[in-house]
Structure 1
Amino acid sequence: MPQKVRIALDAMGGDVGASVIIPGAAVSLSRHPDTEFLLFGDSALIEAQLARHPAMKAASRVVHTDVAVGNDDKPSQALRRGRKTSSMWLAIDAVKKGDADVAVSAGNTGALMAMGRFCLRMLPGIDRPALAAIWPTARGESVVLDLGATIGGDAQHLVALSVMGSAMASVLFNLERPTVGLLNIGVEEMKGHEEIREAAELLRAMKLPQLDYIGFVEGDGIGKGAADVIVTEGFSGNIALKTAEGTARQITEFLRSAMASSWRSRIGYLFAKNAFRALRDKLDPSRSNGSLLLGLNGIVVKSHGGTDAEGFAYAVDVGYEMVRYDLLTKINQMLHREQEAVS
């Protein structure tokens, strides 16, 4: 029987904490029964939720702490106040100690990144972490990074992001050689900042066997699914993410208003409701929930803070898959090949 995947949960992270995190983890457990959980947080709140989910209770161990990282805490404040005592820190530290294979939190992104970097350190050859997420596209799904972990980056940083994103895509999408594109203001080789053009030259020259570099991708190419992996630095990546999320909400509101505008529209909705339901599910951010902090010497998954139980379950699923298919080993192997290509 395969070894179980051990998942550490920050049970006090997110907008509402245990009342979403425990039911969400229970949903994921039903899909992946070979999972064990370490739950860090207020034991009274956690136990109250576990009482409603017997299978989850049987698969869990609770570690009490009443210290939580606030959603508005600055990373430096979170490190100073919550280091070694907060539910977020304890979940990450469980990965460092080998008590868990992955940590999942819906808490403060900046604090999670700072604690992850401080506690787990970076992989050899990686200077800064990156936030990578699954992005729904017209072709299916793509991995997009960096979505805001760090701002800016030179050509070597963009190459490292390409390598790590490829490893993630190979695990998630079962691809031997994912396609990779660099986000740019045009597809022509002379366009874009110097570091983007230099990264493109490096990727072409290296001819890395684990990825297929296809060139520059414009903003509309993200939604089209122009590549399995789309790479950019954190400033533009975060703007792209927030723009897409806002557009999805806008389209949903437009559709809702249009369907309620007349009795004919309401009748039309009855005939087309299955199609509208499919569109709603495609635009639902909870179904793409679960971003990875890539570059850390350990696996850490960030969930949306305001997600529901089903959305949190998707984040736990991502963590499970990254462990089960040995993401860190894949990244290390790819980084080693990249360094050999450079030398």
Structure 2
Amino acid sequence: MSLPRIAVDAMGGDEGVRVMVEGAALARRSHDKFKFLLVGDQARIEAALEDHPNMRGASEILHCDDVISGDEQPTRAIRRAKTTSMGLAVNAVKEGAAGAAVSAGNTGALMAISKIALRTMPGIDRPALAALMPTLEPHDVVMLDLGANTEADARNLLQFAVMGAAYSRIVNGFEKPVVRLLNIGTEEIKGTDALRDAAAHLTAASAKNEGGLALQFDGFVESDKINRGETHVVVTDGFSGNIALKAIEGSARFVTDLLKQAFTSSLRSKIGFLVSRPATELLRHHLDPNNHNGAVFLGLNGVVVKSHGSANAKGVAHAVTVAARLLEDKLTERIAHDLNELGAAALKENGNGTAPGSEALA
């Protein structure tokens, strides 16, 4: 069975149509079952397709020459959703014309448009932005929220944990991913009331639902341990998550630039670089953000993937592949199942159910 096609906002990102189309074409070389709805200026898309004959029979173009700028306010972007390439790509998912949408445009605008068009899933208060980050282990770590919600209470964090675990099971193949809450320490007394409450709920749910809850909650994690690989899912609010993400990305660039300076500082250093080049190339590949591109808005009634604005064709291809995999492995259905196991009604509001941890969520 072929996958539903993927709507690509061809106008988004720093490079626009050329890179978005090239990225989709690159993804299709590895997965020839991919089909696309390319949303954007038809003349420019057709010109870009000339270099990618493998896309001709697999693509339909939806003409639109109106673009949401990188600095446009989400409230204004919402009002222009019906006339912009980003809005039409997301709307294609809502209308069933596509199974997923991929955009490299304005993150805030994409979240706002997606939330209005697709709405949140039953049992989810707020969608969260999740992304993969490299670790010392063969697998990546899923981290959320990375900026969709500057504040999050215990109920939100619990929902994020369920969604992040479902995502990790798909992308990393773990049956029960290890989930930890980002905190300033690992001791139970550390952190805000929301963090301690969320930890108590997850601990209770894990103890009472060992057979059905598809995650292993293992307390708190500090930011210096995020990339060690011991944790499969790191859960936090969007304010802390975005700061942690930018700090990790900045540290990676710092190390890369420092090595570059060291290896070019003298003739002996340049010779040393030639000797160690296989190792440095492996490091560069591991830290290349294009190899981890594709943040996902979890908790919506549909799949929306945010590609980094500066991503190259390889990065866009990775984001497209992420979208397709989430469709193939039925992400939204997995999240719905896990919410049911945990007690969706208790997550949303204090009802009469007796779901694990529901008394703590009252």
The TM tier, using the shorter chain, reads over 0.9
Give the counterpart of 1:96 among 78, 94, 97.
94
> Which letter does structure 2 place at the counterpart of 1:200?
A
Q: 1:85 aligns with which of 83, 108, 123?
A: 83
Q: State, as a whole percentage, how many aligned pairs show the same letter.
A: 49
Tell me how far apart the structure 2 counterparts of residues 4 and 160 of structure 1 sit (CA, whole Å): 28
Could you tell me how far apart the structure 2 residues matched to 1:86 and 1:283 are? Answer: 33
1:239 to 238, 243, 261: 243
* Structure 1 residue 225: Cα displacement: 1.9
Residue 198 (structure 1) aligns with: 197
Q: Which runs of 5+ in 2 are unaligned?
A: 344-354
- Which position in structure 2 is the counterpart of 1:29? 28
User: How big is the shift at 1:342?
Assistant: 4.3
Aligned to 1:330: 334
| Alignment check: 8 A CA contact 1:185 1:191 kept | yes
Contact 1:5 1:34 in 2 (8 A): no
The 4+ residue runs of structure 1 with deviation greater than 2 A are 340-343
Q: Once the 2 structures are TM-superposed, how far is the Cα of residue 255 of structure 1 from its aligned partner?
A: 0.7
Q: Which amino acid aligns with 1:204?
A: T
* Paired residues of 2:169 and 2:176 also in contact (CA < 8 A): yes
Residue 116 of structure 2 is aligned to residue 118 of structure 1:
yes
Residue 183 of structure 1 corresponds to 182
Partner of 2:230: 226
Query: What is the alpha-carbon distance in structure 2 between the residues aligned to residue 177 and residue 245 of structure 1?
Result: 27
Note the C-alpha offset of 1:74.
0.5
Match of 2:350 in 1: none
Aligned to 2:125: 127
TM-score when scaled to structure 1? 0.98
Unaligned runs of 5+ in 1: none
Moved more, 333-342 or 255-264: 333-342
Query: What secondary structure does 1:12 align onto?
Result: coil
* Deviation readout 1:231-265 (Å, 9 max, x if unpaired): 00000000001111111111111111111011111
Q: Deviations over 1:101-141 (max 9, x none)?
A: 11000000000000000000000111111100001011231
Partner of 1:57: 56
**AA at the equivalent of 1:37:** F
- Residue identity in the other structure for 2:163: M
TM-fit CA distance, 1:272 = 1.0
Give CA deviations for 1:295-324 in whole Å, capped at 9, x if unaligned: 111100000001111111111111011011
**Using the alignment, how far apart are the partners of 1:195 and 1:204 within structure 2?**
14
Q: Tell me, what secondary structure is at the counterpart of 1:35?
A: coil
Matches of 2:246 and 2:55, distance apart in 1:
34
Q: CA deviation at 1:71?
A: 0.5
Which of 300, 308, 322 is matched with 2:312 structurally?
308
The residue number in structure 1 matching 2:267 is: 263
CA distance in 2, matches of 1:116, 1:226: 33
**What do the CA deviations read for 1:125-177 (whole angstroms, capped 9, x no partner)?**
11111100001011231100001111111101000000000000000011111
Distance in 2 (CA, whole Å) between partners of 1:272 and 1:291 is 33
The residue aligned with 1:147 is 146
The code of the aligned residue for 1:111 comes to A
Which amino acid counterpart does residue 232 of structure 2 have in structure 1? D
| Structure-2-length-normalised TM-score | 0.93
Q: Deviation at 1:5?
A: 3.5
User: Is residue 2:184 matched to residue 1:169?
Assistant: no
Return the alpha-carbon distance in structure 1 between the equivalents of residues 6 and 73 of structure 2. Answer: 26
Map of 1:42 onto structure 2: 41
Q: Is the 8 A contact 2:186 2:219 kept in 1?
A: yes
The answer to whether the Cα contact below 8 Å between 1:151 and 1:233 also exists between their aligned partners in 2 is yes
- The residue that corresponds to 2:347 in the other structure is none
2:304 aligns to what SS in structure 1? strand
Cα distance in 1 for residues equivalent to 2:90 and 2:278: 42
2:151/2:239 contact within 8 Å kept = yes
Indicate the SS of the match to 1:153.
coil
d(CA) in 2 for partners of 1:32, 1:156: 38
SS of the residue corresponding to residue 143 of structure 1 reads strand
What is the letter of the counterpart of residue 26 of structure 1? A
CA distance in structure 1 between the aligned counterparts of 2:71 and 2:7, rounded to whole angstroms: 23
Find the residue that maps to 2:121 and give its secondary structure. coil
| Cα distance in 2 between the residues matched to 1:35 and 1:311 | 17
Classify the secondary structure of the residue corresponding to 2:5.
strand
Matching residue within 199, 213, 219 for 2:217: 213
Residue identity in the other structure for 2:6: I
Q: Which moved more, 1:33-42 or 1:331-340?
A: 331-340
Tell me the secondary structure at the aligned position of residue 9 of structure 1.
strand
| One-letter identity of the residue aligned with 2:8 | L
| Aligned partners of 2:204 and 2:357 also within 8 Å | no
Aligned to 2:348: none
